[in-house]
Amino acid sequence: MYLNLHLLRPEICLAITAIAVIAVDLFSRRKWLVNTVSLVGLLVSIVLAISLVGSMPNYVGNGLFVLDNYAVFFKILFIAIAILVVLVSTDYIERIPKLHGEYHALLLTATLGAMLTAAAQNIISVILSVELTAVSLYALVGMLKNEKSTESSLKYLLLGAVNSAVMLFGLALVFGFTGSTNFSEIAEMISKSVMSDGFGLFFGLALVFAGFAFKIAAVPFHMWAPDVYEGSPTPITLFLSTVSKIAGFSILLRLVIIIVDTSSNHTWGMLLAIISAVTMTTGNLLAISQNNIKRLLAYSSIAQSGYMLMAVAAVSVSMHDSLTIVSSLQSYMVAFALAEIAVFSVVIIASRYKDSESITDYSGLGKRSPRMAFILTLGLLSLMGFPLMAGFMGKFYVFNQVANGGLLWLVIIAVINSVISAFYYLRIIRTIWIETPQSFETPRSSPALKIVLFISGIGILLFGILPAILSTFTAWGSQFISI
Amino acid sequence: MSFNWLSAIIFLPLAAAIALALLPHLSVKAVRYFAATITMFVLILTLVLFCFFDRNIGTMQFEEVYSWIPAFSASYHLGVDGISMPLVVLTALLGFVSVLVSWKLETRVREFFIWMLILESSVLGVFCALDLLLFFVFWEIEVIPVYFLISNWCSANQRHTALKYVLFTLGGSALMLAGIIGVYYYYGSLNMVLLSQHDDAVLLLSSAPIVPIFFMLLAGFAVKLPIVPFHGWQPDTYTNAPLAVSIMLSGALAKMGGYGIIRICVSFFPDIAIRYAPLMLTLAVVGIIYGGVLVLRQTNLKRLIAYSSISHMGFVLLGIFALGQTSLVGASMQMVSHGLITGLLFAVAGIIIEKTGYADITRLGGLARQMPATATFFILAGLGALGLPATSGFAAEFTTLLGSFSSTVVDSAKWFVLIALLGVLLAAAYILWTIQRIFYGPAQSAFNHIQDAGKLHRIYCGLLIALIFIIGICPSILTSIIQNSTYEIIQVVGG
């Protein structure tokens, strides 16, 4: 075991950038500089992360973290999303005039935490990295400083704190019953001991899974999501729903593969499958009656967690071929992230002149700004899982793997859910294109936002029509470190 | 032939739609002529293909295979056989006719034709796709243009129709997707040609849930055809949709259902098809009678045609699940014939509604004097619909009934044929009664100054009528092309 700090170069770069951002904010009056520094830092960091591609799997920090393709894939994904989030923040940040430095610095640390989460291989590092993201986000959520934002920040903080306590307790139990903090050693202990007398261990793992279920907003730990999504600054909502959620999945999946695979016990798989079914159904049904677009997207995001959980369930049920399932889930995540970026960017642009986020504000957007409306439609169709969109291919990959794992009933529930979701996605699409506009303001977007819209639109179509491009990456990115 | 004919046919309307979308300043007139030229060109291409089609072979022709998603061995695989070829021509024809039908449209013309062209592309794609995933992609895309066409160009209080249509369709296709995933899991292939050569008897004995998969696949087709308990969307949609869309929906899109049942349900799972044939035949007969009886109660002209469509599609289902060589030929012919006849009926109904302003039959009457040409068109279409000899309706229904009666695979088919004959009687009743209510009786002075069908109307109605009679008098144009391919399927079924 060695320190191997050079393998953490993207993270180190981000940490330095975060400090630099604060320093620049302190000593310079040029507001745009903060934005530029954080963007440059992220760009350097993504280059460093890409330079890790092809390096041999290795332990980092004396076994606290690992560096396998799986971790590198998520690192690149998180930095890429963070870059787009910084870009969509350029206009939005005017609403929080005095906190530009803090905003960017915290965004960077939150990304840093997510990257470390994906690489965590030890109980200690899991707690540290998950908390790093969470604490940064508690502050970011409240940055608008209005009533709603503060309320959601407090709500997120209180529930998050309870959740951390529960997760910590669970991890402590796991440590207590196995005597190790390292995942591979824990897995070894579990495979040696007989599960029947391990109720304490089972209980501990259940608490840990509950903790991650909170992060990914799975039912019944989803209550925070709609309020927090609604109250947060919109770019932070985007961050919560993509980076924070995917980070939760990345560590959940790692745990499931390392621990459950070796214990060959189907209880977890069935439990996850049921949670996934309940999550997607609840999310979709509750989304139907929403009139605020951010709340609606929050519920839709809960439903999407349900679809992603299917793959996690499939991993724990089917022993063979977990790599293909992981790779299909990664494809889904990329597609999901692209769609969320597309949708939220339009929400950011549209809410720039009018503070309300009601769906009726979008009526006639197709006439006022056809290009924006087109991208929004692509994003919604992709979330709905419509063919030729990246989301369809993601869904097809995942559903296929889940059926492969013998969970055909779950696939049927999922396809029925897609129809339910069509109901509210189509409602927005109809509002955009068919209803008469209430105002004739044309929402203007800055060049940065245009770039983001363009990238997400191209990505959705490209990965939807030629999914082989994406699956080449995910096939590589699903490679786990061999234990 | 090295040229990718089918790709050209499928993507030409789509390319034209994109071109239209990128040219916002075209005049309305230019848009109309552009759409008409493109659809006519597509029609000509399909006719060329129809002529070059080798009638002695029952297997796929004009095939194109390119690898698409290696992970699933999904490929971009197109091809046509004797069953799909006539449907491709039919779709192209109706695509052209529906552009002509909407010539007088004045609101948002460019958008309308963009959606119509995309719709045509997706329907053509469904008939040509030979890869299950590709098939599904084309199948699903059709929803978006229809959704926009209905909700943008129907009156405001009927917009729920579009959503109803979409939810029904998506519900069916969602189950179909689950079915496709099931097929891929148990057969390990998405290639529709290979899958139809599989023997499902082995899997039927194993514990594989092959029966649910069959019915999940069927669900998507049942909604589209529609088979009776799944027809809830159909009357409203046909009635409220703009005329061109009603023509495409009833003429071409409904055939996607029948085609899918033949190509996928029956070919992939012959043994299950035989096992559940009595159930499906019951549904077919219920559809024939139910649709026929309800037509008698309709007063809205378009809704009347909608219900008659349910009745006629029952014959398609009957022919398919009688599982005889002749009955399958009949079902395929019925699809083409119904496409022509219903297309014509809707087109003529459109003329009547446009000129008189009423869709309500009770307000019409005695129009034969004021609109002699329209009356002739409608009567000829009606004669086709009731299956008068020398029309395509007769050739198709007679072949279907005869084939089903003599089917050796499903013995009970005879009894269903006897009940279905009642449907023929009902058709005669409602068609003649409708003609009488619209065109005969005392002439109404309110309609004294309305014009008869114009030149354009006469062109497309004449075109459809000519085809109806050509097929009726010389059905071998179709049968020669269909029978070799149905023979391939019947060989799998074992009839």
Q: Does residue B473 sit within a domain?
A: yes
Mean pLDDT of B69-73: 85
A388 touches chain B (CB under 8 A): yes
A434 touches chain B (CB under 8 A): yes
Burial A268-307 (b: 16+ CB within 10 A, else e): bbeebbebbbbbbbbbbbbbeebeebbbbbbbbbbbbbbb
pLDDT in tens, B207-262: 778 889 999 999 999 999 999 889 999 999 999 999 999 999 999 999 999 999 99
Average pLDDT value for chain A: 90
Distance from CA of A259 to the nearest CA of B (A): 27
d(CA A305, CA A276): 8
User: Is residue B331 predicted with pLDDT exceeding 90?
Assistant: yes
Sign of the alpha-carbon torsion through B403, B408, B414, B417: negative
Structural domains of chain B, count: 1
Is B71–A468 a contact, with Cβ atoms under 8 angstroms apart?
A: yes
What is the value of ipTM here, to two decimals?
0.89
Residue B358: pLDDT band (50, 70, 90) is confident
Which pTM does this prediction carry? 0.92
Q: Does residue B486 sit within a domain?
A: yes
Top residue of A400, A431, A463 to mutate, by most chain B CBs within 10 Å, is: A400
Q: What is the pLDDT of residue B59?
A: 87
pLDDT in tens, A360-388: 888 888 888 888 999 999 999 999 999 99
Q: Does residue B262 sit within a domain?
A: no
pLDDT in tens, A199-216: 788 888 889 999 999 999
In terms of residue numbers, what domain contains B454?
274-495
Q: Does residue B196 sit within a domain?
A: no
Write out the two tokens for A384: 């709905």
At CB < 8 Å, which residues of chain B contact A? 68-72, 133, 136-137, 140-141, 144, 147-148, 151-152, 159, 162-163, 166-167, 170-171, 174-175, 177-178, 181-182, 184-185, 209, 216
User: Is residue A262 predicted with pLDDT exceeding 80?
Assistant: no
Cβ count within 10 A of residue B121: 26
Give the residue on A whose Cα is nearest the Cα of B153.
Answer: A434
Q: Does residue B474 sit within a domain?
A: yes
Angle made by CA atoms B271, B276, B282, in degrees to the nearest 5: 145
Is B185–A467 a contact, with Cβ atoms under 8 angstroms apart?
A: no
Distance from CA of B104 to the nearest CA of A (A): 21
Chain A CB contacts of B141 below 8 Å: 387-388
Do residues A240 and A140 touch, judged by C-beta distance below 8 A? no
Q: What is the pLDDT of residue B138?
A: 95
SS (H, E, C) chain A: CCCCHHHHHHHHHHHHHHHHHHHHHHHCCCHHHHHHHHHHHHHHHHHHHHHCCCCCCEEECCCCEEECHHHHHHHHHHHHHHHHHHHHHHHHHHHCHHHHHHHHHHHHHHHHHHHHHHHECEHHHHHHHHHHHHHHHHHHHHHHCCHHHHHHHHHHHHHHHHHHHHHHHHHHHHHHHHCCCEHHHHHHHHHHCCHHHCHHHHHHHHHHHHHHHHHCCCCCCCCHHHHHHHHCCHHHHHHHHHHHHHHHHHHHHHHHHHHHHHHCCHHHHHHHHHHHHHHHHHHHHHHHCCCEHHHHHHHHHHHHHHHHHHHHHHHHHCCCCHHHHHHHHHHHHHHHHHHHHHHHHHHHHHCCCCCCCEHHHHCCHHHHCHHHHHHHHHHHHHHHCCCCCHHHHHHHHHHHHHHHCCCHHHHHHHHHHHHHHHHHHHHHHHHHHCCCCCCCCCCCCCHHHHHHHHHHHHHHHHHHHCHHHHHHHHHHHCCCCCC
Q: Does residue B291 sit within a domain?
A: yes
Is B144–A386 a contact, with Cβ atoms under 8 angstroms apart?
A: yes
Write out the two tokens for A356: 């309300």
A419 touches chain B (CB under 8 A): yes
Chain B CB contacts of A393 below 8 Å: 69
Q: Does residue B436 sit within a domain?
A: yes
Q: Does residue B54 sit within a domain?
A: no
Chain B CB contacts of A404 below 8 Å: 185
Q: What is the pLDDT of residue B446?
A: 83
Q: Which residues contact B70 (CB under 8 A, 6 or more apart)?
A: A468
Is B182–A408 a contact, with Cβ atoms under 8 angstroms apart?
A: yes
Q: What is the pLDDT of residue A30?
A: 82
User: Is residue A197 predicted with pLDDT exceeding 60?
Assistant: no
Q: What is the pLDDT of residue A1?
A: 60
Pick B31 or A269 by higher pLDDT.
B31
Is A408–B167 a contact, with Cβ atoms under 8 angstroms apart?
A: no
Distance from CA of B448 to the nearest CA of A (A): 38
Chain A CB contacts of B182 below 8 Å: 403, 408
% residues pLDDT > 90 (chain B): 71
Is B167–A387 a contact, with Cβ atoms under 8 angstroms apart?
A: no
